[in-house]
Amino acid sequence: MRRNILFSLFPFLLFGCAEVPVKSGNIDATPEKILPIDWRNAIRAESFSKTDEGCWISPVITAPFAFEELIYSWSIRLKKGEAFRIYLKVAFTPGDETDWLYAGFWGAPVEMATGREKPKFDRGIVDMDWLKLKTKAVTYQFRIESAGETPLDSIPTLTVVCTDNHPTEELFSRYFPAPLKEQIPGRAFDIPLRRQMDSQGNATPSRCQSAALASAMEYFGKSVNLEDIIDYIHDPEYDYPGLWPRVIGAAGEFGFDGYIDRFREWDSVRKALSEHKILLTSIRMAEGDCKAPPYKKMGNHIIVLNGVTDDGRVVVTDSALGKSGKGYLCQWLQEDFEKIWMRTKGGVTMVICPPKGAEEKLVENLPPFPLEREHLVGDDH
């Protein structure tokens, strides 16, 4: 009943005359507007082969189509003193492959390479946590190396997403998600706002990814100090506040399953929400990109997607608006959010899975979309 209250009371008008656009189902993708396609694969820990003491390699994985991008995450809970480094390689044709490219670490390695440079080569770059290629590859492989004071007792399971940004019409028709036969009703989880602030009240700027994970875990009943999350997510080698796989790795250390994914259309979003999954989305917005955003512009940023409504709104928890409190149940027009997330950042998302038996906490009364909006600079970003 509460869902009916939430999503049917507001057939509202924006700016007095323009009806809020309602977009149901998948993005309209015609042959003239073919979108990227993705292939997801899990490399289970047991599929790695031990090649030397403290070294394991995965099978060579052949994707069903050639790809230009690859993102990945790992899932494991390490024992004290354990750590690992991860490497990847891709092949373009038989016998034409890259060297092993550094792809990150987890735990506390004995040796730390501060000031690390992103691995670059003639046909691409590992942009800290995102392989970007100039030439399409056809296979990939991972290597895990023990790097802690204590030998690695077990190795992680990896989740990998390969992307072809320029598929043919035939590949697009085969691999782009088909629309659902019946639209899943909208819903929005009542996810608390966690500011980018530690337990002593000190501001921790640029920790949006840690705050987003804190909000998701608190929604599921586990409150964690932000500084404890930051210790996991911050990458000291690149001196970067939060890499995507490290967000998933941190979730695992606190007892939550998760994985990296991409969302290209709204049916998949609705399906994930119906499974009680929390989506930590990667966005970026230039000034003038959107019709009615909560701020004028935003650099690379992670926020929590609480849900979507049946009348064309997206509800988020946004730590960049923590000081003002406007980041709680912050609303976007769906077409605006599609642009800054699916189109600008390729729908990259860190998915946090619900613990067994977790109760859904839905928003009971969502205010109408703000008719006039003060464009705020992210006050905690």
Residue 155, pLDDT above cutoff 70: yes
Per-residue pLDDT, 143: 98
Per-residue pLDDT, 370: 84
Inter-residue contact 227 to 198 (CB < 8 Å): yes
Per-residue pLDDT, 24: 36
Nearest to 57 by CA among 76, 84, 96: 84
The dihedral region occupied by 154, where left means phi > 0, alpha psi between -120 and 50, and beta the remainder, is beta
The residue among 11 and 52 whose pLDDT is bigger is 52
- Tokens 């694969």 found at: 41
Rounded Cα distance, 291 and 147, in Å: 49
Confidence tier at 99 by pLDDT (50, 70, 90): very high
Mean pLDDT computed over 75-96: 96
Mean pLDDT computed over 12-33: 41
Max Cα distance, the chain (Å): 69
The torsion angles phi and psi of 2, rounded to 5 degrees, stand at -65, -30
Q: Which helix (H) or strand (E) holds 140?
A: strand 130-146
The torsion angles phi and psi of 88, rounded to 5 degrees, stand at -140, 160
Residue 23, pLDDT above cutoff 80: no
Structure tokens at 161: 């997403």
Nearest to 319 by CA among 192, 182, 224: 192
Residue 179, pLDDT above cutoff 80: yes
Query: What is the Cα gyration radius of the chain?
Result: 21
Rounded Cα distance, 223 and 217, in Å: 7
Confidence tier at 118 by pLDDT (50, 70, 90): very high
Per-residue pLDDT, 17: 29
pLDDT tens, position by position, 254-313: 999 999 999 999 999 999 999 999 999 999 999 999 999 999 999 999 999 999 999 999
pLDDT tens, position by position, 88-97: 999 999 999 9
Residue 224, pLDDT above cutoff 80: yes
Q: How many CB atoms lie within 10 A of CB 102?
A: 18
Domain annotation for the chain: domains and CATH numbers: 37-175 (2.60.120), 181-352 (3.90.70.10)
Residues 6 or more apart whose CB falls under 8 angstroms from that of 15 comprise 371
Per-residue pLDDT, 30: 52
Per-residue pLDDT, 21: 33
- Any long-range contacts for 11-18 (C-beta under 8 Å, 24+ apart)? 11/311, 12/311, 12/368, 12/369, 12/371, 14/292, 14/333, 14/369, 14/371, 15/371, 16/371
Mean pLDDT computed over 219-231: 98
The torsion angles phi and psi of 336, rounded to 5 degrees, stand at -65, -45
Inter-residue contact 99 to 124 (CB < 8 Å): no
